[in-house]
Amino acid sequence: MSIMIDNLDRLNRKERYFLIGMALGNPTFKLSSYFLEALIDKFQLVIPDKVFVAMDYHLNWIAAAAALCFNDPIRDHLYLNTGDMIDGTQEDVDLLLAFDDQPNLTHLIMLEAKGVTAFNNSQFEHKMNRFRNIFGNNCEKWPQIKPYFGLVSPRKPEKLRVDSCPPWLMVNGEIPWLEMPIPDNRLVLFGCDENGRANQDRQYWTIRHQ
């Protein structure tokens, strides 16, 4: 295990990660063969069976893990926050995967998922700026880390503005996209008025088909 992956593992404090791993008998989030093959196809990578996987992983943790590759994590030690690499948000990636290709290179795949809602351009552009702060526009900040980013959703996004993306994010000129099957019989619950129109007062509520 590389120093980067060890740092990522030690910074992971998501209770849902440990709860789901315990509940499903899969504490390390071992990937299914189907999902692993989809990643290999979309990112054009050779990915081993042993991969570090985490969910809802904060971008601040990724930034800290990268910086600590050059330092031992020391409690109460002050690190200079150059370029606002660490910010005050809880912004994250929905799924994080990391594996070693050689002793001094860690591949880092970050996935953003949407199920029944659309990708938001303002949120997406903010995340692209965070990626630049953490990795640099051309991955120049951490030569021992190779980042990747992909989208996961039932349908391929068509209105997402990708002109704000750093160059390293593209594979063959586009953002890798993985299809996520969701049953089409989902129901939508929302508060409404007496005519069934959405209303923040929520005097009534109703359910409609998605």
What's the whole-number average pLDDT of the chain? 91
Q: Phi/psi of residue 21, each to 5°?
A: -60, -40
The CA distance from 66 to 134, in Å, is 8
Dist. CA 198–CA 57, nearest whole Å: 33
Closest Cα to residue 55, out of 111, 108, 2? 111
- pLDDT value of position 134: 93
104 or 55, higher pLDDT = 55
Query: What pLDDT was estimated at residue 86?
Result: 86
Side-chain-side CA neighbours of 165 within 13 Å: the count stands at 19
Residues 155-192 have pLDDT tens digits of 999 889 988 899 999 999 899 999 999 988 889 999 99
Instruction: Answer yes or no: are the C-beta atoms of 151 and 175 closer than 8 Å.
Output: yes
pLDDT tens readout for residues 82-137: 777 888 888 999 999 999 987 789 999 999 999 888 899 999 999 999 999 999 99
Q: In this structure, what token pair is assigned to residue 90?
A: 């809880």
pLDDT band at 153 (very low <50, low <70, confident <90, very high): very high
Q: Is the dihedral of CA 96, 103, 6, 81 positive or negative?
A: negative
Determine the 3-state secondary structure of 76 from DSSP: coil
CA Rg value for the chain: 19
Looking at residues 5-17, what average pLDDT do you find?
A: 95
Residue 72 has pLDDT above 70, yes or no: no
Q: Specify the length of the chain in residues.
A: 210
